[in-house]
Amino acid sequence: MTYTRIDVSLAKGAYPVFCGSGLLARGDIWKPFVGTGQVAVISNNRVLSLHGDGMTQQVKAKTVILPDGEEHKNFKTLEIALDELAAMEMRRDGTVIALGGGVIGDTAGFAAASYMRGVRLLHMPTTLLAQVDAAIGGKTGVNRPHGKNMVGAFYQPVAVVCDTSTLATLPSREYVAGLAEIVKYALLGDAPFFVWLEDNVVALLAQEPTAVRHVVETSVRAKAVIVAADEHEIGDLRVLLNLGHTFAHGIENVAGYGAWLHGEAVAVGMVAAARLSEKMCGFVAADTARIIALLRRLQLPYAFPNIDTDTLLCAMRADKKHAANKLHFVVMEAVGRARTIEIDDETPVRQTIEEMR
Amino acid sequence: MTYTRIDVSLAKGAYPVFCGSGLLARGDIWKPFVGTGQVAVISNNRVLSLHGDGMTQQVKAKTVILPDGEEHKNFKTLEIALDELAAMEMRRDGTVIALGGGVIGDTAGFAAASYMRGVRLLHMPTTLLAQVDAAIGGKTGVNRPHGKNMVGAFYQPVAVVCDTSTLATLPSREYVAGLAEIVKYALLGDAPFFVWLEDNVVALLAQEPTAVRHVVETSVRAKAVIVAADEHEIGDLRVLLNLGHTFAHGIENVAGYGAWLHGEAVAVGMVAAARLSEKMCGFVAADTARIIALLRRLQLPYAFPNIDTDTLLCAMRADKKHAANKLHFVVMEAVGRARTIEIDDETPVRQTIEEMR
């Protein structure tokens, strides 16, 4: 059983992302990263029943069960996690293992970041979205009434274990939503990968293991490079990961957490970014058509839902990525070449939304 | 009007601590550290009415008022602060100014650390305890039912402004409690400063400005050196700052937050540390007597309250500074020379408590 190790290199030192099939049961690979103190596996019931057995046999740990779903990514759930860590009397030498999707990773990650001002954190993402995005790069946090991920920490894990065999049990809709973020990496910086995706839609939808591992590893590598260059999203580089996300967060805010899967909203957001790029920086319409065609074949949405334009714009303005009163967007000059722009006049954004119904 | 600048040098870069009288009104000194985005001054009503005017005139800011007192250093107050930052639509380019004592600094500091995963933070401590300890070194956090400062972040400010003129309005009990932490710096690393304190009790109790500035600056320098060497309390050095604190946290936990001022509990804890040091590493009894004499002249407590020994020991064991099942203590070999020890057998700790009633 082979696996790949991809390092995320940061100022303070690198941490590894292990990718491969069956890694949760391979304690020999990830146990060296567990500390000497107590260990808590933070997960939810569904993930534990599917993937917990092989993993929890590797290490003596207390299991902390959180409620499942984006609507529970809040302070109340964070407090459950923190109180469980306190109840087991975890010390600063303890380790939190976040086993699950993005909601578990973000919540358990923030708990690990803030419990006693920080204990060791291992991410074991079990969804495609978490493996290619959420678990890499140290963003943790919870939602607030005012917005998604409004409160959190940049807190890097000591290691990430991407066991691609866990993806087989994902609901099809969730797996497909994860593919949207993979398309994003192609669009923002890797044109040959976009072609590869166009050529391998059938293998991806069939979850052919070699294809799945290829997209996970390619995405992890892409994210690792960006995070290494701009850990705290201070420069422009990490912002590129938000391609399609201003529109996506608008959709998610208006529709309410959970109505749309994040990847689904990102898919629509990328089409919107492409159309906006046509207006702003000469992106070729034929490439927008290619993006739409790929998303459609991947069974992803590519048009806005029936939301009032002003309501959507208002939600987009509230998105935390904007400084001052300007809307910030990631646009593409071509497939594989993205950059950020500031927009004073909302007209092209409004046009984009109205064209895409 | 002169002031002193003391730099806290960290891996990521240094930040300045400005010490002097009347600095809150000296925007020319601290405004360069405020960012370009929105500014929130987080404080409480008492501090604002005493010190807010001169300071808030320096910068366009929204004022966020938190409830006063250690019993409010919790998630509920943190959420008030976070929601106010969200309501004013602060972006990542915003700045939080924490104006007040340790409770404000810790709560507002954690809010700044976690709001959008971190905005700029300036500390403007207005109590002696906060100026010499809490505001320096990046510890932020709130209390939980399971213990003090159980949840928080290491989050360094961009600058700290210690305006010693604010100390004149402190309730005498609070000012005196702050002196305990100053004695601590002398005990853990600066024997000549201990002698200086013995020689200047009258000037300190009279809040003679030169004496106050000398103790604030000496303490800030001592803490800056320790924090620079061990930012995240990974080595043994920063732990030395906990001299007397294992006993102190035990007293505070048993008595309930707010019954004892932190500095008062630390005073008793330092006497206990001295007595324990007599048993464990040859600390001279005559020096324990000097410590007691100094604390008594400073009007600080130096004996345990009427708490059951087992209850106190249990609370001390729960203190977060302990790893595994061993009690960790900071002991002194002499005045000005401290180190950490692990204790397996609690007998000398128990004896110490029982001797000190």
- Two tokens at A161? 């274990």
CA A88/CA A49 separation, integer angstroms? 22
CB nearest to A141's CB, from B79, B117, B140: B117
Measure in Å the smallest separation between the Cα of B233 and chain A Cα atoms.
10
Which residues of chain B lie closer than 8 angstroms to A75, CB-CB? 75, 79
Question: Count of CB atoms within 10 A of residue B53's CB?
Answer: 11
Between A83, A140, A150, which is nearest B116 by CB? A150
Query: CA B242, CA A29: separation in Å to the nearest integer?
Result: 37
CB under 8 Å to A108, separation ≥6 — which residues? A42, A64, A66, A81, A96, A98, A100, A121
Which of B79, B114, B326 is the best substitution to test chain A (most A C-beta atoms within 10 A)?
B114
Instruction: Show which of residues 5-64 on chain A sit within 8 Å of chain B, judged by CB atoms.
Output: 11-12, 37
Distances (CA, A) of B248 to A48, B136, B182, B316: 41, 20, 15, 8
Catalytic residue list contains B242: yes
Q: Which residues of B touch A232 (CB under 8 A)?
A: 117-118
Who among B86, B110, B324 is closest to A147 (CB)?
Answer: B86
Contact (CB, 8 A) for B208 and B199: no
Tokens standing for A322? Answer: 């904007």
Chain A residue at shortest CA distance from B113:
A153
- Chain B residue numbers with beta carbons less than 8 Å from the beta carbon of A150 are 82, 86, 115-116
pLDDT in tens, chain B (357 residues): 699 999 999 988 899 999 999 999 999 999 999 999 999 999 999 999 999 998 999 999 999 999 988 889 999 999 999 999 999 999 999 999 999 999 999 999 999 999 999 999 999 999 999 999 999 999 999 999 888 889 999 999 999 999 999 999 999 999 999 999 999 999 999 999 999 999 999 999 999 999 999 999 999 999 999 999 999 888 888 999 999 999 998 998 888 767 899 999 999 999 999 999 999 999 999 999 999 999 999 999 999 988 899 999 988 887 655 555 677 899 999 999 999 998 888 899 999 999 998
Predicted local confidence at residue B253, as pLDDT: 84
Contact at 8 Å (CB) between B339 and B328?
no
Rounded to a whole number of angstroms, the distance from the CA of B345 to the nearest CA of chain A is 20
Q: What is the pLDDT of residues B79-131, one digit of tens each?
A: 999 999 999 999 999 999 999 999 999 999 999 999 999 999 999 999 999 99
Calpha distance B131→B124 (Å, rounded) = 8
- The residue of chain A nearest to residue B76, with distances taken between CA atoms, is A75
Instruction: Kindly report the nearest CA distance between residue B284 and chain A, in angstroms.
Output: 33
**A117 at B interface, C-beta within 8 A:** yes
B69 is in an annotated binding site: yes
CB burial of residue B261 (10 Å; 0-12, 13-18, 19+): buried
Minimal Cα distance from B317: which residue of A? Answer: A89
pLDDT in the model for residue A340: 93
Q: Considering only the beta carbons, identify the residue of B79, B91, B322 that sits closest to A75.
A: B79
Q: Measured between CA atoms, how close is A175 to chain B, in angstroms?
A: 28
Cα B41 to Cα B53: distance, rounded to the nearest angstrom: 12
Contacts of A318 in chain B (CB under 8 A): 89
B166 labeled part of a ligand binding site: yes
For A118, the closest chain B residue by CA position comes to B153
The reply to whether residue B37 touches residue A89, judged by beta carbons under 8 angstroms, is no
- For residue A123, the cross-strand partners are A98, A160
Give the CA distances from residue A224 to residues A34, A229, A340, in Å, rounded to whole numbers and listed in that order. Answer: 22, 9, 20
Enumerate the residues of chain A whose CB falls inside 8 A of the CB of residue B153: 113-114, 117-118, 153
Domain architecture of chain B: domains with CATH: 4-169 (3.40.50.1970), 172-355 (1.20.1090.10)
To the question of whether residue A321 is assigned a binding role by annotation, the answer is no
Q: Is A339 left (phi over 0), alpha (psi -120 to 50) or beta?
A: beta
Per-residue pLDDT tens digits of chain A, which is 357 residues long? 699 999 999 988 899 999 999 999 999 999 999 999 999 999 999 999 999 998 999 999 999 999 988 889 999 999 999 999 999 999 999 999 999 999 999 999 999 999 999 999 999 999 999 999 999 999 999 999 888 889 999 999 999 999 999 999 999 999 999 999 999 999 999 999 999 999 999 999 999 999 999 999 999 999 999 999 999 888 888 999 999 999 998 998 888 767 899 999 999 999 999 999 999 999 999 999 999 999 999 999 999 988 899 999 988 887 655 555 677 899 999 999 999 998 888 899 999 999 998
Q: Give A130 to chain B, closest Cα distance, Å.
A: 19
Contact indicator for B334, B265 with CB cutoff of 8 Å: no
Is B262 in the A-facing interface, judged by CB distances under 8 Å? no
